Structure 1
Amino acid sequence: MIAIALSAVAPGLALLSYFYLRHELEAEPLGYVIRSFVAGAVLVFPIMFIQYAFVEEGVLTGPFWQAYITTALLEEFFKWFMIYYTIYIHKVFDDYYDGILYAVACSLGFATLENFLYLWVYDSLEIAIWRAVLPVSGHALFAVVMGYCLGRAKHSTRERLWLFMAVLSATVIHGTFDLILILEPNHKLPAVLYIVILWMVALLLVRAANLSNRRQFK
């Protein structure tokens, strides 16, 4: 049980540490980062209940609807909602990279608890490895895209557009990832290649956010 708990929690904490350290300005208050992480974890149970209700009622159960609506849109909207009302509207959110950091923290809180519950049921080291490579890292990468848009929204005259793009972009890339897994359940290579592409995009967005900070706060 201890091994499963560690293998469930370690990927999320490792990824959060990485993105926390990529912030080139002063370090964000750790308490707020932890708050976002916990807020994401709190979302797991209500989202699981809603998804269970969709399945039981036979609503939106096709591959497309399951990938983009009952999973991606539902999860990304609630994460966006939580980030907006717990962090975005407060003064601690004050630079371009903050969006990435707090979105990643919230998303990894969700992914970590979800991963723990999954591994508690299946209790497999092989599954733990694949979940670290795919779903957990995937949630972090979806959050980078959402967070970049949130950071832009905070400093843009078109704030509402960027806030909308935060939800839309995360939903599209998350839904595409889930659709790949649904259509190719026995082949991990397409999903792994997709994650590699998302990592390249995420690193470019991290660099762009830090560059915007250097330009604005130099």
Structure 2
Amino acid sequence: MQIRLFIIAITPAIIGLFAIYLTDRVDKEPGKLLFLTFILGALSVIPSIIVEEILIRLNVFKGVYNAFFNAFIVAALTEEYFKRLMILKVPYRTTYFNERLDGIVYGVFAALGFATVENIIYVVFTYTNNPFIGLYRGIFSVPAHGIFGVTMGYYLSLAKFATDERRRKANLRKSLTMPVLLHGIFDFILMANIPELTFLFVPYVVFIWWINERKLETFIYDSRNRVIKDKTKDITINDIIDKEE
């Protein structure tokens, strides 16, 4: 029983990891660094749980304000902050982070590392007798973490390759505020217990999937175009050498 639940818990993240890995076809990231980023994302659950427990105890709000605080501060801000911290401390500083697509790849690996551990906690240990939790989280929650990772990685890449300091700082801020915003709205819709708001949940998930798919496609195009330009430069240099000979 536990083994089956464990497989159910980790499968969505594995699918997501393979999907994002296969998008990076031109200049693939080293496997060891990707694995380390995944582990760091998984470990970020630990400080997240500690901070979340403290914030929950400090929460004095009621009703919809309680839902807002739990969604945006307790869950979204805490979790996205520590996932982002892990990326900034390791892959962001390496020489392997050498194109804009890399930010999204590392962002998703860290996010799905976190989501894997979180899903195991919920599916295997917390809601063992509720099979619908595994199904729901596999369809919505785990992919949502991946989407937040795309958003985070997108702005981290814009920051890393910014041409001036003002843009670098602005995009660094957005690499936290934007995933927190998307994550907070996602959780708030579910926590607010407002029937009219619940109807917006699926359209919202489709919307954030669509906008982040466009971000991903933009960086995939940039990655392939960069290689084409590099090859064109090589051909031009070779042609010059041939002519001189």
Q: Which moved more, 1:59-68 or 1:76-85?
A: 59-68
Q: How does 1:66-145 map to 2 (within 5 A)?
A: 66-119=70-123, 120-123=125-128, 124-145=130-151
Please state whether the residue corresponding to 1:180 is helix, strand or coil. helix
Aligned to 2:21: 20
Which residue does 2:36 correspond to in 1? 35
1:211 deviates by 1.9
Q: Give the residue type in structure 2 aligned to 1:136.
A: V
1:117-152 alpha-carbon deviations (Å, 9 max, x no partner): 111221132110101112111100011011111112
Matched to 1:115, the amino acid is N
Seq. identity, %: 31
Q: Secondary structure at the match of 1:28?
A: coil
TM-score, reference length from structure 2:
0.83
**Mapped contact 1:38–1:106 kept (Cα < 8 A):** yes
User: CA offsets, 1:92-134, max 9 Å, x none?
Assistant: 1111110001010001000110110111221132110101112
Give me the whole-angstrom Cα distance separating, in 2, the residues matched to 1:101 and 1:60: 37
Tell me the residue number matched to 1:214.
224
What is the aligned length? 218
What is the alpha-carbon distance in structure 1 between the residues aligned to residue 149 and residue 14 of structure 2?
15
Q: CA separation in 1, counterparts of 2:74 and 2:133?
A: 23
The Cα shift of 1:49 comes to 1.7
2:121 alignment partner AA:
L
| 2:231 aligned partner | none
Unaligned runs of 5+ in 1: none
- Equivalent-residue separation in structure 2 for 1:38 and 1:19 (angstroms): 16
Aligned to 2:232: none
Tell me which structure has the larger Cα radius of gyration. Answer: 2
**Which whole-Å deviations, capped at 9, do the CAs of 1:19-56 have from their partners, x for residues lacking one?**
11111312211111111110011011221121112223
TM-score when scaled to structure 1? 0.93
Q: Once the 2 structures are TM-superposed, how far is the Cα of residue 188 of structure 1 from its aligned partner? A: 6.2
Does structure 1 residue 205 correspond to structure 2 residue 215? yes
Q: Residue 68 of structure 2 contacts residue 192 of structure 2 at CA under 8 Å; is this kept in 1?
A: no
**In 2: Cα distance, 1:80 partner to 1:6 partner:** 27
Shift of 1:59: 5.1
| Aligned counterparts of 1:3 and 1:74: Cα–Cα separation in 2 | 30
Q: How large is the Cα RMSD of the aligned pairs?
A: 1.8
